[in-house]
Amino acid sequence: MKRLSLIDTIVEEIKGRVITGEYKSGNLLGSQDELARTFGVSRASLREALKRLELMGLVESRQGLGTFLKKIEPCDFMNPLSSFLVIDKGSAFELLEARLHIEGSLAALAASHASDEDLKAIEDTLASMRALSAAQEIEEFVKQDVQFHYAIAKASNNAILIKIVEILRELLRQLISKVFRGYPENLLQTIDQTNEFHQNIFDAIKSHNPEAARRHMEDHIRDVQKKVANSERFNGANEPPVPEEN
């Protein structure tokens, strides 16, 4: 069994105190000095743990005031993926491998089951993404990118798969954001490629062609795999091979 690092231990301890109600949503946790003394760790270790919690969206640091717990519920910690961060190529490829299997099937199901309302929801996200890409509003573009994939999941009419995508949404946002930031010199090209992949997926779903929808979705995810493999934004060495297309 893998032992927790000191940083992991601090993170889990703080999460545990939220679950038990010792730390309340919106309350001040304390200054870094106070928290370091509370947990018996160095300020450097405490600072790294707080950074991780901040990336998870659980705490926020306010200059001159200290660290505050965001307004969340204890059940937010029950998701086993809540502490998973897409920080290196290994974790990114694991997420992409999962997406390849899940979202290919979702696209095929959406092509079979999508209602007119579902199609409009997907098409609306495409329109938003094109408007945001023209304005180069990248963070909002990323949010709509995630929404596009979620709209396809909802169109699948499969409650279990929809729930899986809901769990993966934050990981997906992290991944997409890193991919775009990893190609600043080719940002517009990357955005155009994303819009083209999404349009092809939507056209296949709208035509009720499950095989084409699956193929275009898998092509899209394989393209992201290649971008991750070539990006310096993902700092790990564990780099699984990119699956070959059949």
pLDDT per position in the chain (246 positions), as tens? 344 588 888 888 888 787 667 888 888 988 889 999 999 999 999 998 898 888 777 888 888 888 898 876 545 554 555 455 555 677 788 889 999 999 999 999 999 999 999 999 999 999 999 999 888 888 889 989 999 999 999 999 998 889 888 888 878 888 888 888 777 778 888 999 999 999 999 999 999 999 999 999 999 999 999 988 887 766 544 444 444 444
Other C-beta atoms lying within 10 Å of the C-beta of residue 103: 27
Residue-range domain boundaries for the chain? 6-77, 89-230
State which fold the 89-230 domain adopts.
Four Helix Bundle (Hemerythrin (Met), subunit A) (1.20.120)
Q: What is the pLDDT of residue 244?
A: 42
The CA distance from 243 to 100, in Å, is: 10
- The two three-digit tokens of residue 59, written as one number: 């705490």
Quote the pLDDT of residue 97.
Answer: 92
Domain 6-77 belongs to what topology?
Answer: Arc Repressor Mutant, subunit A (1.10.10)
- As given in the structure block, the two tokens for residue 188 are 């517009």
The answer to whether domain 6-77 and domain 89-230 are alike in fold is: no
pLDDT score at 222: 96
CA angle 90, 96, 100 (to 5 degrees): 145
Mapped to the 3 state alphabet, what secondary structure does the chain carry?
Answer: CCCCCHHHHHHHHHHHHHHCCCCCCCCEEECHHHHHHHHCCCHHHHHHHHHHHHHCCCEEEECCCEEEECCCCHHHHCCCCCCCCCCCHHHHHHHHHHHHHHHHHHHHHHHHHCCHHHHHHHHHHHHHHHHHHHHCCHHHHHHHHHHHHHHHHHHCCCHHHHHHHHHHHHHHHHHHHHHHHCCHHHHHHHHHHHHHHHHHHHHHHHCCCHHHHHHHHHHHHHHHHHHHHHCCCCCCCCCCCCCCCC
Sheet holding 59-62, edge to edge: 28-30, 66-69, 59-62
pLDDT score of 172: 84
